[in-house]
Amino acid sequence: MRDPVLSISDLTVDLPKGGDRPHAVERLSLEIGAGEIVCIVGESGSGKSITSFATMALLPKALKVSSGSILFEGRDILKMSEREHARLRGHRMAMIFQEPMTALNPCYTVGDQIEEVFRSHTDFPASERKTRTLALLEEVRMPDPPRIYASYPHQLSGGQRQRVVIAMALALDPPLLIADEPTTALDVTTQAQILAMFRELRQTRGAGIMLVTHDFDVVAEVADKVVVMRKGRVVEQGTAEEVLNHPQHPYTRQLIDAVPRRRGEKTERPSKRASVLSVEKLEKTYLVPTRFGRPARQVAALKPASFELRQGETLGIVGESGSGKSTLVRAMLRLIEPTGGKVVIDGRDVTQASRAELRAIRRHIQIVFQDPYGSLNPRRTIGDQLIEGPVNFGVSSAEAMRKARELVRIVRLEEDVLHRYPNQFSGGQRQRLCIARALMVEPRILVADEAVSALDVSVQKEVLKLLAEIRDRMGLSMLFITHDLRVAAEVSDHVIVMSQGEIVERGPIDRVFADPQHSYTRQLLAAMPGQGWEVPDISTLAPAAINGGTP
């Protein structure tokens, strides 16, 4: 084999004093060869991003490399000056970030920004720069490159923006590409296209690619080699085949086990139970008023949608961003005013209810939101927020506190959390607190609006398990809104697929996955990453090697 493009050996990055551990990255070694995709996998706080930043010499000032070397094309990056780094970046190595909107400057056209790379590293004449830029846009499969060339970032979709960022990265044909969660912010169909592009680039450009991700399915899709990190240390590394199918370290196994299963065998629930929620022709249109002579127009965020939720059933609502699934939920709960339709809960129509009636109805239906950081008030103690519901419905605070203590135990937290503030909890813990808060008023229906999307896979798995357990124990019915088909498949009995404000397909989960009727559903299913990977059943593998890695 030729010399590796990048070879990191024994890299240790210190954390500032007072952190939860002394090193952000500890004694990390890895190699990336030409034409090779190396995936660094880990959960949040594992040090995977720090590794990529260190390679680009973009570490935050508070973090210092205390030992090791990062050899790139035979030279140690850690020993270079600031100016040499600048010359290297963009030219010999390029980075692709998670959030394509913030990586592009909204004030300049796409063409300007790609040409900027040529301007700062080469002395091509203007015409040459433009031809090359157009060729790049063509290469990243942009429709109509001349139009994209003259567009501003806000005129492009998320996927297109990410392609522009990739085009910039490819501009000077760098031997090393570093991509930090490049598809995490994208919809699944877009993700599939971007990942396909990475596979292609590996062949056409022969570049080494370091891909940082938290998603094992993405790894299965593109990786040649895999590095699994936990708390700053490498716990396992090897070829994709080895790590994915024969994981040795217990942590790797735990992560792989937490990957939501596709097409789990469902125990068929009796479907002829009483309906607890019925939605009829619910719709929401926004009126865009006349402005500067442009005529007023109506935007249908939600076209008339009808469905029913039965006692004890979990209904998944799946769709990509902008498909109207959140609008559906919010209009249903009247957190936004629906334009038309009926929502019947407990025999009463939500859309016609007075303020007082609405309060009474909402007791039966509660919601857990997506953002674990935005759904708890940072200035109130957990206890105060948990008793909010019962107190509003006339229960005394002492009584409500008793109940709060009980529920906190049910969501597997200690009782003393009640006196603490939200900032002292991790995302997963906060989400469990939100579940507890929703359950405080003993609802019959629980709506989970992307409730696990912001969580790490292993935490996601725990929360999903908890939700299923609570559902069965308390006889809840659940509406589960998600963009992730794998998660929907794991928890739902029935599923609704939404696209552009419309329900395009519905049915029992097994039927929809096995035999999708609508073209959009087929497209979604085809785009799911990691399809070629038969997730190994961890329980059948040989016992984990204890010697490798962390105690």
Which residue in 27, 363, 402, 405 binds another protein (CB under 8 A)? 363
Residue 280, phi then psi, degrees to nearest 5: -125, 120
Residue 307, phi then psi, degrees to nearest 5: -165, 170
Q: Is 286 in the site for another protein (CB under 8 A)?
A: no
Q: Tell the smallest beta-carbon distance from residue 49 to another protein (Å).
A: 6
Which positions from 25 through 44 interact with another protein, judged by CB under 8 A?
44
Q: Which stretch binds another protein (CB under 8 A): 207-215, 306-314, 421-429, 506-514?
A: 421-429
Which residue in 20, 123, 268, 337 binds another protein (CB under 8 A)? 20
Q: Is 424 in the site for another protein (CB under 8 A)?
A: yes
Q: Which stretch binds another protein (CB under 8 A): 80-88, 377-385, 514-522, 531-539?
A: 377-385
157-203-235 Cα angle (round to 5): 85
Number of residues in contact with another protein under rule CB under 8 A: 45
Residue whose CB is less far from another protein, 211 or 527: 211
Cα of first residue to Cα of last residue in the chain, in angstroms, is 34
**Residue-level length of the chain:** 551
Which residue in 11, 50, 318, 411 binds another protein (CB under 8 A)? 50
Q: Is 22 in the site for another protein (CB under 8 A)?
A: no
* Contact status, residue 399 vs residue 408, Cβ threshold 8 Å: no
Of 420, 425, 416, the closest CA to residue 382 belongs to 420
Give the C-alpha separation, 148 to 157, whole Å.
11
Give the C-alpha separation, 20 to 249, whole Å.
23
Q: Is 327 in the site for another protein (CB under 8 A)?
A: no
Q: Is 108 in the site for another protein (CB under 8 A)?
A: no
* Contact status, residue 425 vs residue 377, Cβ threshold 8 Å: no
Calculate the alpha carbon distances from 256 to 40, 454, 466 in Å.
14, 18, 19
Judged by DSSP in three states, 362 sits in helix
Q: Is 18 in the site for another protein (CB under 8 A)?
A: yes
In a 13 Å sphere around the CA of 437, the CA atoms on its Cβ side amount to 26
The string of DSSP letters for 420-473 reads S-GGGS-HHHHHHHHHHHHHTT--SEEEEESTTTTS-HHHHHHHHHHHHHHHHH
Give the C-alpha separation, 332 to 277, whole Å.
10
Residue whose CB is less far from another protein, 244 or 445: 445
Q: Is 175 in the site for another protein (CB under 8 A)?
A: no
145 backbone φψ class: left, alpha, beta (φ>0; ψ -120 to 50): alpha
Give 447's strand partners.
Answer: 367, 479
Structural tokens at position 118? 């040529």
Burial status of residue 161 (CB atoms within 10 A of its CB: 0-12, 13-18, 19 or more):
buried
Residue whose CB is less far from another protein, 282 or 365: 365
Q: Tell the smallest beta-carbon distance from residue 109 to another protein (Å).
A: 31
Q: Is 442 in the site for another protein (CB under 8 A)?
A: no
Burial status of residue 106 (CB atoms within 10 A of its CB: 0-12, 13-18, 19 or more):
exposed
Q: Which stretch binds another protein (CB under 8 A): 181-189, 191-199, 380-388, 398-406?
A: 380-388
Residue whose CB is less far from another protein, 59 or 466: 59
Q: Is 275 in the site for another protein (CB under 8 A)?
A: no
Which residue in 4, 47, 383, 530 binds another protein (CB under 8 A)? 47
Which residue in 168, 434, 455, 528 binds another protein (CB under 8 A)? 434
Q: Is 440 in the site for another protein (CB under 8 A)?
A: yes
Structural tokens at position 343? 């929502």
* Contact status, residue 488 vs residue 453, Cβ threshold 8 Å: no
Q: Is 122 in the site for another protein (CB under 8 A)?
A: no
Query: 3-state SS string over 395-416?
Result: CCHHHHHHHHHHHHHHCCCCHH
Which residue in 74, 143, 378, 532 binds another protein (CB under 8 A)? 378
Q: Tell the smallest beta-carbon distance from residue 446 to another protein (Å).
A: 11
Q: Tell the smallest beta-carbon distance from residue 456 to another protein (Å).
A: 12
Counts for the chain of helices (H) and strands (E), in that order = 21, 20
Q: Is 371 in the site for another protein (CB under 8 A)?
A: yes
Which positions from 180 through 209 interact with another protein, judged by CB under 8 A?
none
* Contact status, residue 365 vs residue 447, Cβ threshold 8 Å: yes
Q: Tell the smallest beta-carbon distance from residue 46 to another protein (Å).
A: 9
Which positions from 465 through 524 interact with another protein, judged by CB under 8 A?
none
Q: Tell the smallest beta-carbon distance from residue 436 to another protein (Å).
A: 12
Residue whose CB is less far from another protein, 8 or 229: 229
Give the gyration radius of the chain's Cα atoms.
26
Q: Tell the smallest beta-carbon distance from residue 445 to another protein (Å).
A: 11
Give the C-alpha separation, 121 to 468, whole Å.
55
Strands 365-368 and 314-318: unpaired
Structural tokens at position 213? 């991700």
Residue whose CB is less far from another protein, 108 or 421: 421
Q: Is 380 in the site for another protein (CB under 8 A)?
A: yes
Q: Tell the smallest beta-carbon distance from residue 124 to another protein (Å).
A: 38
Q: Is 289 in the site for another protein (CB under 8 A)?
A: no
Q: Which stretch binds another protein (CB under 8 A): 45-53, 132-140, 201-209, 538-546?
A: 45-53
Residue window 387-416: x/- pattern of binding to another protein, with contact defined by CB under 8 A: -xx--xx-----------------------
Q: Is 437 in the site for another protein (CB under 8 A)?
A: yes
Residues that bind another protein (CB under 8 A): 15-16, 18-20, 24, 44-45, 47, 49-50, 333, 335, 359, 362-363, 365-367, 369-371, 373-381, 385, 388-389, 392-393, 420-421, 423-424, 434, 437-438, 440-441
